[in-house]
Amino acid sequence: MNEKNVKESHSTTLSKEELLEIDRKHVWHHMTPHNPNPMILVSGKNSTVTDIDGKNYLDGMSGLWCVNVGYGREEIALAASEQIQAIPYVPMSQGNVPSILLAEQLNKWLGGDYRIFYSNSGSDANEVAFKIARQYHQQNGEPSRFKFISRYRAYHGNSMGALSATGQAHRKTKYEPLSPGFIHVAPPYCYRCPFDKTFGECGLACAKTYEDVINYEGAETIAGIILEPVITGGGVIVPPPEYLTEVRKICDKFGILLIVDEVICGFGRSGKKFGHQNFGVQPDIVTMAKGMTSAYSPLSATAIRSELYEVFKKPGPDNHFRHVNTFGGNPASCAIALKNLEIIERENLIERAAYLGTELRKKLDSLLMHKNVGDIRSFGFIVGIELVEDKTSKIPASPEKVLKIISECKEHGLIIGKNGDTVPGFNNIITLAPPFTTTDDEIDFIVNTLLNAFATLS
């Protein structure tokens, strides 16, 4: 695709340089001090995106862990168009057909009985979860329960409550003090065990630490534990198989709500419908976004077990959930989500994601021999490659080494990610989460491109 065709397809006669000039003057880009020359992407198909110069890139991160069914799905665009023409907006104080049908479908995917509260983003969904949990305990006769336990290195969002739950110091710099009532525990990080133990002989210390913190804080003050099935953006930190089961037991023992953040791990990314289903636990609250629409439109949801919802139906002026989101449950977004889930099921993309994840991890195995690769971790179709200065000391690799790998891959047509702005001194993990439409040949391309990029490290 040449630049002329790109411009025509996007109804602009401006050149690339003219667009960049406007961008430099008016656009504030995310997660960067200043980006004077951003890549301008103009189209996408399946796992490939195309920039304004006509160069193709395999999107090894599905945007931001979200374009699960790939780019260019015309039937999703058609579903949105039809809904917008019928009725573009309904506030969720009322009802609309797509939001009703989506709530039913989400319950089928969750394998439980949940009430669905719609919002815009993962941050929103987690904010809703915190408010629901606190109000639930208040109205259930335990008003002292207001604290939440989350994990260091975990990410739960950018809004003030969600950022308080986030265990990444760089994200919080210059924004504190944040919301009170958020406590953090060490992550289940076997490669760098915070408890200086070896897996198999550790007694699941990473899970047992919750019980210690609960006792120190007072069980009567703890409202909930929030966790991702796997810490994704904080470095693809995969827990031991029994970890979530143990955390669920601890929650049950102390009457604490288990909130599972499925914003990234959900909707097939883990090789199952939801990440927690790999561990056989049933959450009290589930938050979700990203893959629910494959990022074709903003939408998130907070699912709460129906028996907990009953507390909010008690008579009284303040007993209903007093939260509103203007665009939550948008009919077009819900129609998009329904079509997206239909595609995932019809094309067996969850099974495909599981297969692709296994193949990618297997073919990356030779990278473990590289002197700067300390560990490779995977969960479904997510991979994290931890870079170190040397294998013995495990000193995290310098930012220059990490950026060199990213730059080399981009130069050769592969977009990959990293755990940027997380923990000081530990932004050393390369991340991969390609679309489920990735082909076997594209898996080979990803692997070969990474191998060649690592070969450039001195």
Tally Cβ neighbours within 10 Å of residue 72.
Answer: 14
pLDDT at 32: 87
pLDDT at 340: 98
Please list, in sequence order, all residues whose beta carbon lies within 8 angstroms of the beta carbon of residue 451, skipping any fewer than 6 positions away.
366, 367
pLDDT-above-70 percentage for the chain: 98
Q: pLDDT tier at 11 (50, 70, 90 boundaries)? A: low
User: Could you give the domains of the chain?
Assistant: 39-69+349-454 (3.90.1150.10), 75-346 (3.40.640.10)
| Arithmetic mean of pLDDT over the chain | 96
Sequence-ordered strand ranges (E) for 245-318: 257-261, 285-288, 300-305
Instruction: Read off the pLDDT of residues 235-256 as tens digits, 9 standing for 90 and up.
Output: 999 999 999 999 999 999 999 9
Q: Does 4 have pLDDT greater than 70?
A: no
Q: Does 180 have pLDDT greater than 90?
A: yes
Q: Does 66 have pLDDT greater than 60?
A: yes
Largest CA distance in the chain: 69
Question: Residue range 339-348: average pLDDT?
Answer: 98
Look up the pTM and report it.
0.96
Question: Residue range 281-294: average pLDDT?
Answer: 98
> CA 187, 218, 229: angle at the middle one, nearest 5?
25
Length of the chain counted residue by residue: 458
For residues 332 and 95, the answer to whether their CB atoms sit within 8 Å is: no
Q: In Å, how far are 210, 223, 296, 310, 458 from 142, measured between CA atoms?
A: 20, 9, 41, 16, 59
pLDDT at 200: 86
Instruction: Read off the pLDDT of residues 270-279 as tens digits, 9 standing for 90 and up.
Output: 999 999 999 9
Instruction: Read off the pLDDT of residues 325-339 as tens digits, 9 standing for 90 and up.
Output: 999 999 999 999 999
Question: Residue range 78-90: average pLDDT?
Answer: 98
pLDDT at 34: 85
pLDDT at 2: 46
Instruction: Read off the pLDDT of residues 189-229 as tens digits, 9 standing for 90 and up.
Output: 999 999 999 988 999 999 999 999 999 999 999 999 999 99
pLDDT at 164: 98
pLDDT at 193: 96
Could you please report the per-residue DSSP string of 343-365? HHHHTTHHHHHHHHHHHHHHHTG
pLDDT at 10: 53
Instruction: Read off the pLDDT of residues 42-58 as tens digits, 9 standing for 90 and up.
Output: 999 999 999 999 999 99
Residue 107 phi, psi dihedral angles, 5° rounding: -65, -40
Burial of 105 (0-12, 13-18, 19+ CB in 10 A): middle
Q: Supply the DSSP symbol for 71.
A: B
Q: Does 376 have pLDDT greater than 90?
A: yes
Q: Does 163 have pLDDT greater than 80?
A: yes
The 3-state DSSP composition of the chain as helix, strand, coil percent (nearest 5) reads: 40, 15, 45
